[in-house]
Amino acid sequence: MFEAAELGHTTPHATYAARLPGLRGDLMRAHLELRDRKFPVIVIVSGADGAGKGELVQRLNEWLDPRGVSTHAFWAGSDEERERPPYWRFWRAMPGRGRIGIFFGSWYSAPIVDRVLGTMKRHRFDTALDRIVAFERMLAADGALLVKLWLHLPRKEQKKRLHKLEREGRLAPDDWKHFKRYRQFTKVSERALRRTDTADAPWRVIEATDRRYRELTAGTLLLKALRQRLDQPARPATKSVAGSKRPRRDADSILDHVDLTPRLTDAEYDRALAAQQLRLGKLAWAAFEQKRSMVLAFEGWDAAGKGSAIRRVVQAVDPRLYRVVGIAAPTDEERAQHYLWRFWRRLPRAGFTTIFDRSWYGRVLVERVEGLTAVADWSRAFHEINDFEEQLAEHGVVLAKFWIHLGRAEQLRRFKERQAVAYKRYKITTEDWRNRAKWDEYKVAVDEMIAKCSTGVAPWTLVAGNDKKFARVQILKTVVKRLEAVL
Amino acid sequence: MFEAAELGHTTPHATYAARLPGLRGDLMRAHLELRDRKFPVIVIVSGADGAGKGELVQRLNEWLDPRGVSTHAFWAGSDEERERPPYWRFWRAMPGRGRIGIFFGSWYSAPIVDRVLGTMKRHRFDTALDRIVAFERMLAADGALLVKLWLHLPRKEQKKRLHKLEREGRLAPDDWKHFKRYRQFTKVSERALRRTDTADAPWRVIEATDRRYRELTAGTLLLKALRQRLDQPARPATKSVAGSKRPRRDADSILDHVDLTPRLTDAEYDRALAAQQLRLGKLAWAAFEQKRSMVLAFEGWDAAGKGSAIRRVVQAVDPRLYRVVGIAAPTDEERAQHYLWRFWRRLPRAGFTTIFDRSWYGRVLVERVEGLTAVADWSRAFHEINDFEEQLAEHGVVLAKFWIHLGRAEQLRRFKERQAVAYKRYKITTEDWRNRAKWDEYKVAVDEMIAKCSTGVAPWTLVAGNDKKFARVQILKTVVKRLEAVL
**pLDDT higher than threshold 70 for residue B3:** no
Confidence of residue B8 (pLDDT cuts 50, 70, 90): low
What count of Cα atoms within 13 Å lies in the side-chain half-sphere of residue A11?
A: 23
According to the model, what pLDDT value does residue A1 have?
Answer: 37
Q: Which of A54, A104, A320 sits opposite B73 (nearest CB)?
A: A320
List pLDDT tens digits, range A138-170. 999 999 999 999 999 988 998 998 898 888 877
Whether B329 and chain A come into contact, CB under 8 Å, resolves to no
According to the model, what pLDDT value does residue A252 have?
Answer: 80
**pLDDT higher than threshold 70 for residue B246:** no
Whether A64 and chain B come into contact, CB under 8 Å, resolves to no
Whether B357 and chain A come into contact, CB under 8 Å, resolves to yes
- Cβ <8 Å between A423 and B57: no
* CA of B112 vs chain A CAs: smallest distance (Å): 21
* CA of A251 vs chain B CAs: smallest distance (Å): 36
Mean confidence (pLDDT) of chain A: 91
Complex prediction ipTM: 0.88
Q: Answer yes or no: are the C-beta atoms of A463 and A405 closer than 8 Å.
A: yes
- Cβ <8 Å between A66 and B311: yes
Q: Which of B66, B79, B104 sits opposite A79 (nearest CB)?
A: B79
Bridge partners, A460 (sequence order): A401
Q: Which of B29, B307, B331 sits opposite A332 (nearest CB)?
A: B331
Cα B162 to Cα A351: distance, rounded to the nearest angstrom: 26
Whether B233 and chain A come into contact, CB under 8 Å, resolves to no
Residues of A in contact with B70 (CB under 8 A): 323
Cα B6 to Cα B217: distance, rounded to the nearest angstrom: 8
List pLDDT tens digits, range A58-99. 999 999 999 999 999 988 888 999 999 999 999 999 999 999
List pLDDT tens digits, range B369-389. 999 999 999 999 999 999 999
Q: Which residues contact A256 (CB under 8 A, 6 or more apart)?
A: none
- Cβ <8 Å between B310 and A79: no
CATH superfamily of A254-486: P-loop containing nucleotide triphosphate hydrolases (3.40.50.300)
Domains B13-231 and B254-486 share a fold: yes
Whether B289 and chain A come into contact, CB under 8 Å, resolves to no
Q: Which of B29, B311, B319 sits opposite A102 (nearest CB)?
A: B319
Averaged over B393-399, what is the pLDDT? 97
- Cβ <8 Å between A73 and B320: yes
* AA identity, residue B375: V
According to the model, what pLDDT value does residue A6 have?
Answer: 45
According to the model, what pLDDT value does residue A316 have?
Answer: 94
Which DSSP string do the residues of A27-88 spell out, in sequence order? HHHHHHHHHHH---EEEEEEE-TTSSHHHHHHHHHHHS-GGGEEEE---SPPHHHHTS-TTH
Residue of chain A whose Cα is closest to the Cα of B336:
A331
Q: Which of B32, B66, B325 sits opposite A314 (nearest CB)?
A: B66
**pLDDT higher than threshold 80 for residue A426:** no
Cα A235 to Cα A170: distance, rounded to the nearest angstrom: 46
Interface of B with A in 381-440 (CB under 8 A): 423, 426
Averaged over A397-425, what is the pLDDT? 91
Whether A61 and chain B come into contact, CB under 8 Å, resolves to yes
- Cβ <8 Å between A61 and B323: no
Which DSSP string do the residues of A129-157 spell out, in sequence order? HHHHHHHHHHHHHTT-EEEEEEEE--HHH
Q: Class of the A13-229 domain?
A: alpha beta
According to the model, what pLDDT value does residue A120 have?
Answer: 96
Residues of B in contact with A346 (CB under 8 A): none
According to the model, what pLDDT value does residue A49 have?
Answer: 84
List pLDDT tens digits, range B51-81. 899 999 999 999 999 999 999 998 888 899 9
* AA identity, residue A209: T
DSSP category for residue B424: G
Domain ranges of chain B: 13-231, 254-486
Averaged over B287-301, what is the pLDDT? 97
According to the model, what pLDDT value does residue A8 have?
Answer: 56
According to the model, what pLDDT value does residue A168 have?
Answer: 82
Averaged over A471-478, what is the pLDDT? 98
List pLDDT tens digits, range A200-254. 999 999 999 999 999 999 999 999 999 999 998 876 655 555 444 555 555 688 8
List pLDDT tens digits, range B430-443. 889 999 999 999 99
Whether A379 and chain B come into contact, CB under 8 Å, resolves to no
Which of B37-51, B204-218, B416-430 comes out lowest in average pLDDT?
B416-430
Q: Which residues contact A17 (CB under 8 A, 6 or more apart)?
A: none
**pLDDT higher than threshold 60 for residue A369:** yes
According to the model, what pLDDT value does residue B259 have?
Answer: 92
- Cβ <8 Å between B331 and A326: no
Task: Return the percentage of chain B with pLDDT > 70, whole number.
Answer: 95
Cα A418 to Cα A439: distance, rounded to the nearest angstrom: 19
Confidence of residue B6 (pLDDT cuts 50, 70, 90): very low
Whether A218 and chain B come into contact, CB under 8 Å, resolves to no
B407 Cα distance to chain centroid: 34
Residues of B in contact with A71 (CB under 8 A): 319-320, 323
According to the model, what pLDDT value does residue B165 have?
Answer: 83
A287 Cα distance to chain centroid: 25
According to the model, what pLDDT value does residue A274 have?
Answer: 97
- Cβ <8 Å between B67 and A357: yes
- Cβ <8 Å between B325 and A357: no
According to the model, what pLDDT value does residue B4 have?
Answer: 41
- Cβ <8 Å between A314 and B61: yes
B262 Cα distance to chain centroid: 38
Interface of A with B in 454-473 (CB under 8 A): none
CB atoms inside a 10 Å sphere around CB A442? 20
pTM: 0.91
- Cβ <8 Å between B318 and A79: no
* CA of A180 vs chain B CAs: smallest distance (Å): 27
Interface test with B, best of A32, A311, A318 (most B CBs within 10 A): A318
B128 Cα distance to chain centroid: 15
Among A392, A337, A399, A456, residue whose Cα is nearest residue A86: A392
Whether A68 and chain B come into contact, CB under 8 Å, resolves to yes
What count of Cα atoms within 13 Å lies in the side-chain half-sphere of residue A189?
A: 21
Among A475, A467, A478, A464, residue whose Cα is nearest residue A266: A467
- Cβ <8 Å between B318 and A69: no
Averaged over B240-259, what is the pLDDT? 67
Task: Return the percentage of chain A with pLDDT > 70, whole number.
Answer: 95
Cα B429 to Cα A118: distance, rounded to the nearest angstrom: 58
Alpha-carbon radius of gyration of chain A: 27
In terms of Cβ atoms closer than 10 Å to its own Cβ (0-12, 13-18, 19+), residue A330 is middle
Residues of A in contact with B104 (CB under 8 A): 319-320
Among A459, A440, A470, A400, residue whose Cα is nearest residue A256: A440
Three-state SS for A205-250 is EEECCCHHHHHHHHHHHHHHHHHHHHHCCCCCCCCCCCCCCCCCCC
DSSP category for residue B454: -
Cα B417 to Cα B428: distance, rounded to the nearest angstrom: 10
Q: Answer yes or no: are the C-beta atoms of B476 and B313 closer than 8 Å.
A: yes
According to the model, what pLDDT value does residue A251 have?
Answer: 62
* CA of A407 vs chain B CAs: smallest distance (Å): 26
Q: Answer yes or no: are the C-beta atoms of A165 and A171 closer than 8 Å.
A: yes
Q: Which of B71, B325, B423 sits opposite A320 (nearest CB)?
A: B71
**pLDDT higher than threshold 50 for residue A7:** no
Indicate the length of chain B as a whole number: 487
List pLDDT tens digits, range B157-176. 988 988 888 888 777 777 88
Q: Which fold has domain B13-231?
A: Rossmann fold (3.40.50)
Residues of A in contact with B32 (CB under 8 A): 426
* CA of B320 vs chain A CAs: smallest distance (Å): 6
**pLDDT higher than threshold 60 for residue A3:** no
In terms of Cβ atoms closer than 10 Å to its own Cβ (0-12, 13-18, 19+), residue A426 is exposed
Averaged over A300-310, what is the pLDDT? 95
Q: Which of B54, B67, B319 sits opposite A71 (nearest CB)?
A: B319
- Cβ <8 Å between A66 and B32: no
According to the model, what pLDDT value does residue B235 have?
Answer: 67
Alpha-carbon radius of gyration of chain B: 27
The answer to whether the Cα torsion of B60, B62, B68, B71 is positive or negative is positive
